């Protein structure tokens, strides 16, 4: 089944404790992206990648890192999480820029 | 920087009435345009998209949208609302060129409520 998977789905952590949210797609998509969703703000793009080893900042990259060593994986890294990074995070992928993005199920992160 | 404005954070209609959700963007270069729907506790699902060609785009569940370059708009419509249309709708714009090529910007979302 074609899908985007994210892990974990729910995470509660404390300020400063490094964490990684994994994202994987099995559709051989070139384009992958991370978003955070906050009430009243819609989805805001954190980072995106147009291919392996090619990443770029979105609208809200501060406090986040990403890597794209393989086509299928695009992990989101929070080196030192802070409470303002409490949010719902979505990973998405698409074949190319003009194509539909497929979204993962979301990761709800709480930073205490 | 690209910006996307959805007029009205909440829209309420009666079942069977016209649905109109408004979206305006700021890019001077015709971008790629998308409408997504999010049902409670779920991810986003594509309703329709415009890349090139015909400016009236039909999507799933009876929705359609028209790209109007002169108005920089991409409003979403459905002739007759159904209870199952109740959800949050997001307009999204992807720059097709320039320095922010590849970046996708979402509007803040419009929650659609459908009354019996």
User: A87 vs chain B: nearest CA distance in angstroms?
Assistant: 14
Mean pLDDT of chain B: 90
**Which of the pair, B53 or B47, is modelled with greater confidence?**
B47
Among partner residues B94, B96, B106, which is closest to A42 by beta-carbon distance? B106
> Could you report the per-residue pLDDT of A11-58, keeping only the tens digit for each?
999 999 999 999 999 999 999 999 999 988 889 999 999 999 999 998
- The answer to whether A101 contacts B107, with C-beta atoms less than 8 Å apart, is no
pLDDT greater than 90 at residue A77: yes
Task: Look up residue A100 and give its DSSP letter.
Answer: P
- The answer to whether B45 contacts A48, with C-beta atoms less than 8 Å apart, is no
Q: B95 pLDDT band (50/70/90 cuts)?
A: confident
Cross-strand partners of B87: B112
CA atoms of B85 and B76, how far apart (whole Å): 13
- The answer to whether A101 contacts B103, with C-beta atoms less than 8 Å apart, is no
Return the pLDDT at A96.
Answer: 83
Return the pLDDT at A9.
Answer: 95
- The answer to whether A40 contacts B102, with C-beta atoms less than 8 Å apart, is no
**If you average pLDDT over residues B23-30, what whole number do you get?**
81
Beta strand extents in A18-86 (DSSP E only):
19-25, 31-38, 42-51, 54-57, 65-66, 76-78
Closest to B32 in 3D by CA, of B77, B85, B95: B95
């Amino acid at each position: 089944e074609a899908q985007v998977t994210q892990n974990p789905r729910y995470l509660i952590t404390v300020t400063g404790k490094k964490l990684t949210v994994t994202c994987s797609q099995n559709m051989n998509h070139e384009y992958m992206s991370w978003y955070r969703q906050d009430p009243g703000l819609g989805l805001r793009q954190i980072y995106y990648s147009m291919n392996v080893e090619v990443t770029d900042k979105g609208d809200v990259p501060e406090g986040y890192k990403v890597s794209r060593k393989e086509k299928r994986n695009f992990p989101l890294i929070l080196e030192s999480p802070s409470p303002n990074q409490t949010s719902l995070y979505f990973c998405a992928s698409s074949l190319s820029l003009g194509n539909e993005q497929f979204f993962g199920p979301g990761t709800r992160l709480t930073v205490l | 920087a690209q910006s996307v404005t959805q007029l009205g954070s909440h829209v309420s209609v009666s079942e069977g009435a016209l649905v109109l959700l408004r979206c305006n963007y700021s890019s001077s270069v015709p971008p790629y345009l998308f409408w997504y729907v999010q049902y409670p506790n779920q991810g986003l699902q594509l309703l329709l998209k415009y890349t090139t060609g015909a400016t009236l785009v039909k999507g799933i569940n009876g929705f359609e949208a028209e790209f109007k370059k002169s108005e920089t708009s991409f409003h979403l419509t459905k002739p007759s609302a159904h209870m199952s249309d109740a959800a949050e709708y997001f307009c999204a714009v992807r720059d097709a060129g320039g320095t922010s090529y590849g970046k996708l910007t979402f509007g803040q979302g419009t929650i659609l409520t459908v009354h019996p």
